[in-house]
Amino acid sequence: MTEGLGARAPKYHRVADALRREIRDGELAPGQRLPAETTLVERFRMSLPTIRQALGVLRAEGLIESRHGIGTFVKEQRRLQRRSRGRYGSARDHQKLLTHHLRHDIVFAGRGPVPSHIAEVMGIDPGTEVVIRRRHLFDKDTNQPEEIGASYLPVEVAGGTFLEEPTVVPKALFLCVEDLTGRHYTRARDQWIARMPTADESSILELPTGAPVMHVVHVARDEDGDVLEVSESIWPADRVIVIDDYPVEQEAEQPAAASEV
Amino acid sequence: MTEGLGARAPKYHRVADALRREIRDGELAPGQRLPAETTLVERFRMSLPTIRQALGVLRAEGLIESRHGIGTFVKEQRRLQRRSRGRYGSARDHQKLLTHHLRHDIVFAGRGPVPSHIAEVMGIDPGTEVVIRRRHLFDKDTNQPEEIGASYLPVEVAGGTFLEEPTVVPKALFLCVEDLTGRHYTRARDQWIARMPTADESSILELPTGAPVMHVVHVARDEDGDVLEVSESIWPADRVIVIDDYPVEQEAEQPAAASEV
DNA sequence: GTCGTCAAGTCCTCATGAGGAGTAGGGTCG
DNA sequence: CGACCCTACTCCTCATGAGGACTTGACGAC
């Protein structure tokens, strides 16, 4: 650990380090308010920009969060949601929306050009017309934004159906598609990346500056390998744990996706 | 998109937006150097701190990277490494280290107290003595840091073996453990989270400020459900894609890890 | 030719000063 | 009692000014 930084380290770095240690040691508990910036100026005997720069470092690390006009607070580290595969089986059971505890705002439903990163996994040309459903999900109680979601369906699959209407579907999307087409979801591929949010995502999800997002692109295919659906979700990264539970291969085998951890 | 911000938006925000658009539109290509800060001061007719604040926003978004004494550059978005399960099968095939293209620096090997986040998944008390192997991995060609890794093995498993010695093991760790104990890796569980790096991680991985990391904790058990090994890896998030390819459950089933995407 | 020195250009640190904007609490007026 | 306003406190924005540290390339001494 970088305890006791030498006098050679930048001042803002030393301040950040002192506060970081107080947070780690519990002197500043999660949820607790930090001293006001002006108070820190007096305490550390440094200028306001220097103090603010130090706070900026801790903000970028996700340790604190500032609220305009109120104060700066130690963030509560909670990762509530666990996400992994297995969604299909449980949805077949319950016959209801996977995210029924969230309020769904359908912000768009209809046809449009497929974005390039989706076209890539679908194996079609960017700009090809597909059926798109975009949604924002909010916690029903706190009204906090939880997720930005979008589904992309080939026109052959969803064209002319109620999936082009901006209404919440009655059950999991894949069950609707199976009913409408008679085809079956057979194989899926998830692609997870973590990145910094765009300005739009940051404002929709009300993210504090410096908070990363988790972005998953989900591709579902039928028994012939044809794409039935691509959907993507974007969450604040600090609310997500991806869990993958699987048997260890006992025999030599070449997995579909190479390959190391 | 937040095109054409009104005059009410903060100045640094407008500057960031203008540069962001130039990057997105390709006027500033990946790898290319941005105008010097002093040049931007003249061009936008704003003060240096304002310009620097705008650059700070783009840095936090992972769009640009500044190098002291050299300049500020548009980051190349490259996600080279794809990681997913299936590691065991291919390792049994090749009988060599999974990360043989990287240089391994064993920074520690021996006994020590288990960290709390590892104790939790191992189901033991924090501080219990375990065998720990810590390593830093570097690209053999560029010498760039690529990964921080650590393995935690119960003393019953690895105590008194060469796994307590700070030398690179001849083949994948799990094959060593299987040979030494006669027990077999049967089931594994990976836990992925994305977060901002600690100060230490940031310096070891030479991360630009504002860049998140991907952190995976891997738990391996034998047929009795006893933990044989826990290992964790930390990568710069922008070099990682996690890919998960799996069959869709056709029948009702309660997966081990609940469960929604 | 090789090495070290130097200067120019770059980003980084930090101080001072001023004003603006959002929030919460208390008081006043109806 | 309720609605409104005012004030104190908070964080946010932005300017100016100065010096330092790092990198590169050119130049001269050896």
Domain ranges of chain A: 11-74, 81-242
b/e per residue, A117-151, with b = 16+ CB within 10 A? ebbebbebeeeeebbbbbbbbeeeeeeebbbbbbb
Residue bearing the bigger pLDDT, B251 or B68? B68
Q: Which nucleotide is nearest to A65 (CA to C1')?
A: D11
Q: Looking at beta carbons, which residues of chain B come within 8 Å of A211?
A: 196
Q: Which nucleotide is nearest to B34 (CA to C1')?
A: C10
Chain B window 175-234: which residues touch A at a Cβ cutoff of 8 Å?
184-200, 203, 209-212, 214, 216, 218, 220, 233
Measured between CB atoms, does A2 come within 8 Å of chain B?
yes
Q: What is the DSSP letter of B251?
A: S
Which pLDDT belongs to residue A167? Answer: 86
At B113, the pLDDT band (50, 70, 90 cuts) reads: very high
Distance CA A199, CA A193 (A): 18
Q: Is B81-242 the same fold as B11-74? A: no
Q: What confidence tens digit (pLDDT) does each residue in B140-198 have?
A: 877 788 999 999 999 999 988 999 988 888 788 998 999 999 999 999 999 999 998 88
Residue A123 has pLDDT above 90, yes or no: yes
Neighbours of B144 (CB within 10 A): 14
Which pLDDT belongs to residue A42? Answer: 94
Residue B7 has pLDDT above 70, yes or no: no
Measured between CB atoms, does B138 come within 8 Å of chain A?
no
Name, in order, each residue with C-beta under 8 angstroms of B163's C-beta and a sequence gap of 6 or more.
B109, B131, B133, B153, B169, B173, B176, B177, B180
**Given an 8 Å threshold on Cβ–Cβ distance, is A86 in contact with B17?**
no
Q: What confidence tens digit (pLDDT) does each residue in B46-75 have?
A: 999 999 999 999 998 889 999 999 999 999
Which pLDDT belongs to residue A94? Answer: 56
At B256, the pLDDT band (50, 70, 90 cuts) reads: very low
**Given an 8 Å threshold on Cβ–Cβ distance, is B244 in contact with A92?**
no
Residue bearing the bigger pLDDT, B117 or B144? B117
Residue A252 has pLDDT above 70, yes or no: no
Distance CA B135, CA B158 (A): 17
Name, in order, each residue with C-beta under 8 angstroms of B103's C-beta and a sequence gap of 6 or more.
B137, B138, B139, B140, B143
Residue A256 has pLDDT above 50, yes or no: no
Neighbours of A56 (CB within 10 A): 21
**Given an 8 Å threshold on Cβ–Cβ distance, is A190 in contact with B98?**
no
Residue B119 has pLDDT above 80, yes or no: yes
Q: Which nucleotide is nearest to A52 (CA to C1')?
A: D11
Mean pLDDT of chain B: 86
A41 strand C contact, CB < 7 Å: no
Using a pLDDT cut of 70, give the percent of chain A over it. Answer: 87
Residue A168 has pLDDT above 70, yes or no: yes
Which pLDDT belongs to residue B86? Answer: 59
At B257, the pLDDT band (50, 70, 90 cuts) reads: very low
Measured between CB atoms, does B80 come within 8 Å of chain A?
no
- Beta strands at A129-139 and A102-113: parallel, antiparallel or unpaired: antiparallel
Give the pLDDT mean for B108-122. Answer: 95
Using a pLDDT cut of 90, give the percent of chain A over it. Answer: 59
Name, in order, each residue with C-beta under 8 angstroms of A237's C-beta and a sequence gap of 6 or more.
A194, A211, A212, A213, A214, B193, B194, B195, B212
Name, in order, each residue with C-beta under 8 angstroms of A149's C-beta and a sequence gap of 6 or more.
A134, A135, A136, A137, A231, A232, A233, A234
Which pLDDT belongs to residue A245? Answer: 86
Which pLDDT belongs to residue B2? Answer: 40
**Given an 8 Å threshold on Cβ–Cβ distance, is A86 in contact with B220?**
no
Distance CA B33, CA B64 (A): 9
| Nucleotides on chain C within 7 angstroms of protein Cβ | 9-18, 20-24
In angstroms, what separates the C-alpha of B11 from chain A's closest C-alpha?
15
At A260, the pLDDT band (50, 70, 90 cuts) reads: very low
Which pLDDT belongs to residue B260? Answer: 40
Q: Is A175 helix (H, G, I), strand (E, B) or coil?
A: helix
**Given an 8 Å threshold on Cβ–Cβ distance, is B186 in contact with A257?**
no
Amino acid at A224: D
**Given an 8 Å threshold on Cβ–Cβ distance, is B237 in contact with A192?**
no
Q: Is B228 helix (H, G, I), strand (E, B) or coil?
A: strand
Give the pLDDT mean for A83-94. Answer: 64
**Given an 8 Å threshold on Cβ–Cβ distance, is B240 in contact with A187?**
no
Q: For A81-242, CATH number?
A: 3.40.1410.10
In angstroms, what separates the C-alpha of B240 from chain A's closest C-alpha?
7
Q: What confidence tens digit (pLDDT) does each residue in B145-160 have?
A: 899 999 999 999 998 8
Choose the mutation target among A233, A249, A250 for the interface with B, i.e. most B CBs under 10 Å: A249
Nearest in space to B230 (alpha carbons), one of B167, B168, B150, B128: B150
Mean pLDDT of chain A: 86
Which pLDDT belongs to residue A209? Answer: 75
Which pLDDT belongs to residue B184? Answer: 92
Q: What confidence tens digit (pLDDT) does each residue in B186-241 have?
A: 999 999 999 988 878 888 888 877 789 999 999 999 999 999 999 999 999 988 99
B29 strand C contact, CB < 7 Å: no
CA dihedral angle for residue B197, residue B190, residue B149, residue A6, rounded to 10 degrees: 20
Nearest in space to A99 (alpha carbons), one of A132, A131, A145: A145
Q: Which nucleotide is nearest to A50 (CA to C1')?
A: C14
> Could you tell me the CA-to-CA distances from A63 to A53, A193, B196 in Å, in that order?
14, 22, 9
Q: Which nucleotide is nearest to B51 (CA to C1')?
A: D14
Is the CATH number 3.90.180.10 carried by domain A11-74?
Answer: no
Give the pLDDT mean for A46-59. Answer: 94
| Nucleotides on chain D within 7 angstroms of protein Cβ | 9-18, 20-24
Which pLDDT belongs to residue B253? Answer: 42
Q: Looking at beta carbons, which residues of chain A come within 8 Å of B190?
A: 242-245, 261
